[in-house]
């Protein structure tokens, strides 16, 4: 993640590793899982199929045993709080103001009496540490890294910050607010960079949707199982996945990707759950999609690739433009703020602290990434579902896309911010024609509004100009003659 100027009053966190100061590295949204095994369904034409768009979902979702793909052990201690830093962050994050979150919350409260109440959000991430600013204690929903912890340990710090953007319920004198503070968070830990294989071997297992070696725990197989687990709970309205897999585009889809696609399709179409995912961050192993043909991207990011069933969220910065780290692609649905993030401090021991910076490479860095744009949208989904209980998952997705601030592009979307930056106030108050049985607007060729061209008879003009020209010629001849006569007299 590229550097962005930091905010004054950073809450710095250090890892509690004896004998040295270690670097806090949030679980990367990209590159943590690299699919392996046989590739399937290769294309043989120039259509771009399976490049920009995956094949339709097929098959049943994977079963869930609740277990990791292998045994893991903790290699790095969980993120620790800097006990010498007692600064309280009271400033309101720019993204919160930009999206008019508090105005949207007032609308939600007036309409429903709560701000996302009675809605449960599953956060599939690095775990979530219970924080005093959650209105409801986080529910442990499963753990594919260390099962006894049941998702309530967040060694990496990533999942807690994601959950905080969704549901933090802070006091009135603190500017930072979660989007939907009355919601219930369920944590399912699916990945961790602080853990590694217990046998000390490679983390790569051929044919099981494995990670890049050394990238810790978590792969596409366990991600698919985590989605299935969240879907089968029966109380989840929204799933947030700020963990992605980025690979080079090959025009194919792997069995592990197909399993994840099937799990998401099951969650949306069978269990009526809205799935939100981060669009992904550019890195050395995840090239930006800036190639000439947008239908043949260089990089494929899952789960955003499955955009028929996923709200894929890009990041914008303080200028309102797409953040330079946000991966482009035809699968991008909408965008939200993803730079200079403030959220709950995930470090131990637990406190009422917030965080807006981390230490990366020995340097202070602001919290940023599409990982943190996604929970803004997830919180909005919770508000919309509470206010419009009759809408199914895909109708909720459409409402959020239809009310976004569309870019100036054909069809009102592009590959950078999708349908545009989300507009929470509009999402909670606008009339969406399709919901009212009104046909969707269609492109129409409109007249210019100018009067028709006049077919003028130019003959009188030509005669008049001819007469004028003739008169000028006679005048010139007369003047010439007079001038000649006068010269002769003087001679």
Q: Quick: pLDDT tens for 310-369.
A: 999 999 999 999 999 999 999 999 999 999 999 999 987 667 889 998 777 667 789 999
pLDDT for 488 beyond 70: no
Domain that holds residue 193: 29-436
Q: What is the mean pLDDT of residues 32-39?
A: 38
| 325 in any annotated domain | yes
Confidence of residue 210 (pLDDT cuts 50, 70, 90): very low
Eight-class DSSP state of 73: E
- Per-residue pLDDT at 34: 38
Q: How many CA atoms within 13 Å lie on the side-chain side of 435?
A: 19
Q: How far apart are CA 190 and CA 227, in angstroms?
A: 10
Q: What is the mean pLDDT of residues 156-185?
A: 96
3-state helix, strand, coil in the chain (%, to 5): 25, 20, 55
Confidence of residue 39 (pLDDT cuts 50, 70, 90): very low
| 331 in any annotated domain | yes
Q: Is the peptide bond before 266 cis (omega within 30 degrees of 0)?
A: no
| 144 in any annotated domain | yes
- Tell me whether residue 328 is one of the annotated catalytic residues: no
| 338 in any annotated domain | yes
Q: What is the mean pLDDT of residues 90-103?
A: 95
pLDDT for 85 beyond 80: no
- Per-residue pLDDT at 201: 58
| 478 in any annotated domain | no
Phi first, then psi: give them for residue 276, nearest 5 degrees.
-115, 135
Helices 370-387 and 101-112: crossing angle, nearest 10°? Answer: 20
Q: How far apart are CA 431 and CA 411, in angstroms?
A: 19
Tokens representing 432 are: 């969406």
- Per-residue pLDDT at 83: 60
Q: How far apart are CA 169 and CA 160, in angstroms?
A: 13
User: Of the listed 64, 69, 125, 154, which one is catalytic?
Assistant: 125
User: Is the pLDDT higher at 8 or at 107?
Assistant: 107
User: Of the listed 187, 237, 249, 371, which one is catalytic?
Assistant: 371
- Give percent of the chain above pLDDT 70: 81
Phi first, then psi: give them for residue 416, nearest 5 degrees.
-100, -50
Buried/exposed code over 184-213 (b: 16+ C-beta within 10 A; e: otherwise): bbbbbbbbbbbbbbeeeeebbbeebbbbbe
Q: What is the mean pLDDT of residues 475-490?
A: 77
| 93 in any annotated domain | yes
Q: How far apart are CA 24 and CA 360, in angstroms?
A: 6
Q: What is the mean pLDDT of residues 445-470?
A: 75
Q: Are 368 and 341 in contact (CB under 8 A)?
A: yes
User: Of the listed 131, 158, 265, 406, which one is catalytic?
Assistant: 158
CATH number at residue 172: 3.40.50.200
User: Is the pLDDT higher at 411 or at 449?
Assistant: 411
| 44-48, 145-149, 239-243, 342-346: least confidently modelled range | 44-48
Number of domains the chain is built from = 1
- Per-residue pLDDT at 86: 61
- Tell me whether residue 371 is one of the annotated catalytic residues: yes
pLDDT for 6 beyond 90: no
Q: What is the mean pLDDT of the chain?
A: 84
| 486 in any annotated domain | no
CA nearest neighbour of 222 among 284, 144, 281, 168: 144
| 3-7, 34-38, 55-59, 413-417: least confidently modelled range | 3-7
| 289 in any annotated domain | yes
- Tell me whether residue 158 is one of the annotated catalytic residues: yes
Q: What is the mean pLDDT of residues 196-215?
A: 51
């Amino acid at each position: 993640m590229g550097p962005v100027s930091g905010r004054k009053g950073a809450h710095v966190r250090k890892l509690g590793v004896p004998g040295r100061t270690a670097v806090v590295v949030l679980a990367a949204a990209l590159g943590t899982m690299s699919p392996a095994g046989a590739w399937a369904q290769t294309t043989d034409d120039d259509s771009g199929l399976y490049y920009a768009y995956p094949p339709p979902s097929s098959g049943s979702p994977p079963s869930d045993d609740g277990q990791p793909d292998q045994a893991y052990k903790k290699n790095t201690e969980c993120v620790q709080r800097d006990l010498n830093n007692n600064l309280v962050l009271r400033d309101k994050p720019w993204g919160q103001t930009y999206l008019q979150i508090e105005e949207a919350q007032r609308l939600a409260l007036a309409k429903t009496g709560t701000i996302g109440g009675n809605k449960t959000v599953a956060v599939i991430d690095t775990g979530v540490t219970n924080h005093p600013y959650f209105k409801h204690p986080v529910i442990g929903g499963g753990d594919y890294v260390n099962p006894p912890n049941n998702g309530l340990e967040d060694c990496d710090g990533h999942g807690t910050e994601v959950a905080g953007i969704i549901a933090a319920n802070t006091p009135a004198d603190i500017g930072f607010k979660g989007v939907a503070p009355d919601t219930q968070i369920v944590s399912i830990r699916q990945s961790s960079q602080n853990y590694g294989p217990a046998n000390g071997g490679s983390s790569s297992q051929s044919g099981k949707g494995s990670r890049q070696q050394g990238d810790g725990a978590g792969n596409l197989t366990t991600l698919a199982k985590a989605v299935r687990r969240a879907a089968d709970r029966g109380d989840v309205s929204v799933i947030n996945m700020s963990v992605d897999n980025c690979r080079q585009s090959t025009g194919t889809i792997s069995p592990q990707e197909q399993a994840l696609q099937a799990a998401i399709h099951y969650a949306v179409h069978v269990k009526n759950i809205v799935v939100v995912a981060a669009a992904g961050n550019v890195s050395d192993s995840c090239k930006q999609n800036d190639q000439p043909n947008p239908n043949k991207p260089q990089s494929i990011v899952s789960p955003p690739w499955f955009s028929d069933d996923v709200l894929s969220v890009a990041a914008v910065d303080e200028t309102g433009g797409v953040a330079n780290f946000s991966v482009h692609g035809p699968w991008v649905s909408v965008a939200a703020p993803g730079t200079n993030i403030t959220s709950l401090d995930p470090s131990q021991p637990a406190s009422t602290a917030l965080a807006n910076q981390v230490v990366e490479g020995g340097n202070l860095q602001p919290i940023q990434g599409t990982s943190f744009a996604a929970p803004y949208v997830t919180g909005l989904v919770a508000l919309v579902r509470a206010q419009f209980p009759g809408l199914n998952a895909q109708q909720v997705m459409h409402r959020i896309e239809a009310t976004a601030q569309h870019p100036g592009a054909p069809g009102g979307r592009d590959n950078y911010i999708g349908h545009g930056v989300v507009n929470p106030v509009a999402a909670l108050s606008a009339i969406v024609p399709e919901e009212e049985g009104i046909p969707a607007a269609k492109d129409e060729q409109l007249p210019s509004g100018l009067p028709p061209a006049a077919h003028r008879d130019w003959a009188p003009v030509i005669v008049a100009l001819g007469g004028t020209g003739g008169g000028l010629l006679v005048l010139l001849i007369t003047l010439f003659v007079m001038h000649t006569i006068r010269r002769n007299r003087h001679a």
